[in-house]
Structure 1
Amino acid sequence: MKTKQKFLSLIMIIVSCTTVFAQDDPLQSALLGFKGGANFATISSRNLEDPSFRSDFYVGLAIEAMLTDKFGFQVEAIYSRQGLKINQQLSKRKEIVRLDYIQIPILAKAYIIEGFNIQGGLQFGFKVDESSPVTFPLENGVDFNIDTIRSFDFQLTSGIEYKFKNGFFMQARYSYGFSEIVDDSEAHNSVFSTGIGFMFY
């Protein structure tokens, strides 16, 4: 219930911001949209042997606020299912570690040609749920389990997007976490994502 309340609160904040932006004279336009797609997530760490990508989904809302015809920014609130698959030497199978975040990207956005744009900026991740069937030690002796995973993740993210004139868009993005997800682990979130969405005019 707490997770749902947090997500609904973020939706209300985005809708409120859209109303304010739309009334702000310096902006050329302000659009509200929704998006969703697939994540291909893993954990990047030299202390973690043979991590694999875990595929899952993300869904959320976005504001596009343009300062000029070519340049502006985009703010989003996304529910993102991440984590990794890890090989277990004893059982000889891959175990799934699931990490769910509310991600808040704040991005600069530049249109290169009509419809096609590049994006880049900061992303703030707030862990709302996790699941791991096992505890496994990293090579430096740190235990990786759901009790040691940090609740906040600071990331850089960038991507490309093509938006059609009717508001429909396609997007691909990569995010890398600069925060260690477990203290002293040198383990960082690494996520490729691709998806579609629609901006309302």
Structure 2
Amino acid sequence: MKKLLASLAIVLSVVSFANAQKIAFKGGFTYSDAIMSPEPVDIIDGKAGFHAGIVLQDLMLSDKIGIQPELIYSQQGFKIGSVGSIGMHYLSLPILLKFPVTEELSLLAGPQVSYLTNTKIGIGNGFFSVNYNGLFKDIDLGLAGGLEYKVSDKVALGGRYVLGLTNVNKDFQIDNNNNLSDYLSIKNTSAQVYVSFSFGKN
């Protein structure tokens, strides 16, 4: 999957350069959480983190719609009461449709595929943490949507919500016929705010 994401990123970069469009660097705050079913009793809380990556801008399909691919590193996860936390580090590839509302404001929406690069289990209030990569599935499919406001030709501000569609709970076998994921569903969610700085053709 790492090779697939890397190949897609290279292809998108080549397409962008071939069309002499802008590339932007973006970064910002992420507030992530988990939707669990059945829901534990008041022990799951959201977790703060950050995200950063590159954006291919101004790939317009027509005057009214464009496409905006991105390659983003994102910290996600959730807290488990006062016991500890789960930190999930993803490399995400959103492929978003871009709908200009005004000259400055655009609506963005589309699918996102994410690859889990690392998992950390934190004990207490971050007093101690260990790497453990066997808890969750490697691939998480989701939907992303939000707004972006162009402050200038080079700077934009945005906000986005990402809803995971995949039950990322690993299929641990608990008896001959059943897996843990048959009883507990965990889906990622995150809200992001960011600033992007573009360079390239105006």
Question: What is the DSSP-based 3-state SS (H/G/I as helix, E as strand, rest coil) of the residue aligned with 1:147?
Answer: coil
Once the two structures are TM-superposed, the CA of residue 68 in structure 1 deviates from its matched residue by: 2.8
Instruction: Extract unaligned runs of 5+ from structure 2.
Output: 124-131, 170-180
- Aligned equivalents of 1:35 and 1:129: distance in 2? 21
| 1:129 equivalent in structure 2 | 118
Once the two structures are TM-superposed, the CA of residue 69 in structure 1 deviates from its matched residue by: 3.4
Once the two structures are TM-superposed, the CA of residue 163 in structure 1 deviates from its matched residue by: 1.0
**Mapped contact 1:102–1:127 kept (Cα < 8 A):** yes
Show the 5 A alignment for 1:159-170: 159-170=146-157
Question: What is the DSSP-based 3-state SS (H/G/I as helix, E as strand, rest coil) of the residue aligned with 1:70?
Answer: coil
Show the 5 A alignment for 1:171-186: 171-182=158-169, 183-184=181-182, 185-186=184-185
Instruction: Extract unaligned runs of 5+ from structure 1.
Output: 23-29, 88-92, 135-144
| 1:67 equivalent in structure 2 | 61
Which of 133, 149, 173 aligns to 2:136? It is 149
Which of 19, 22, 25 aligns to 1:21? It is 19
Once the two structures are TM-superposed, the CA of residue 10 in structure 1 deviates from its matched residue by: 6.5
| 2:194 equivalent in structure 1 | 195
| 2:51 equivalent in structure 1 | 58
Once the two structures are TM-superposed, the CA of residue 45 in structure 1 deviates from its matched residue by: 1.0
Which of 86, 98, 116 aligns to 1:97? It is 86
- Aligned equivalents of 1:70 and 1:34: distance in 2? 24
Which of 90, 103, 114 aligns to 2:103? It is 114
Relative to the length of structure 1, the TM-score reads 0.79
- Aligned equivalents of 1:42 and 1:171: distance in 2? 20
- Aligned equivalents of 1:127 and 1:13: distance in 2? 21
Change (3 A) 1:6 1:95: farther
Aligned partner letter, 2:76: Q
Encode CA deviations 1:94-126: one digit per residue, 9 max, x unaligned.
411000000000010011011100010000000
Question: What is the DSSP-based 3-state SS (H/G/I as helix, E as strand, rest coil) of the residue aligned with 2:14?
Answer: helix
**Mapped contact 1:10–1:77 kept (Cα < 8 A):** no
Relative to the length of structure 2, the TM-score reads 0.79
| 1:140 equivalent in structure 2 | none
Aligned partner letter, 1:167: K
**Mapped contact 2:87–2:122 kept (Cα < 8 A):** no
Encode CA deviations 1:20-79: one digit per residue, 9 max, x unaligned.
333xxxxxxx32111000110011113242311100100000112112333201000000
- Aligned equivalents of 1:163 and 1:157: distance in 2? 19
**Mapped contact 1:14–1:62 kept (Cα < 8 A):** no
Change (3 A) 1:7 1:159: same
- 1:40 correspondence with 2:27: no
Once the two structures are TM-superposed, the CA of residue 199 in structure 1 deviates from its matched residue by: 2.0
**Mapped contact 2:5–2:93 kept (Cα < 8 A):** no
Question: What is the DSSP-based 3-state SS (H/G/I as helix, E as strand, rest coil) of the residue aligned with 2:101?
Answer: strand
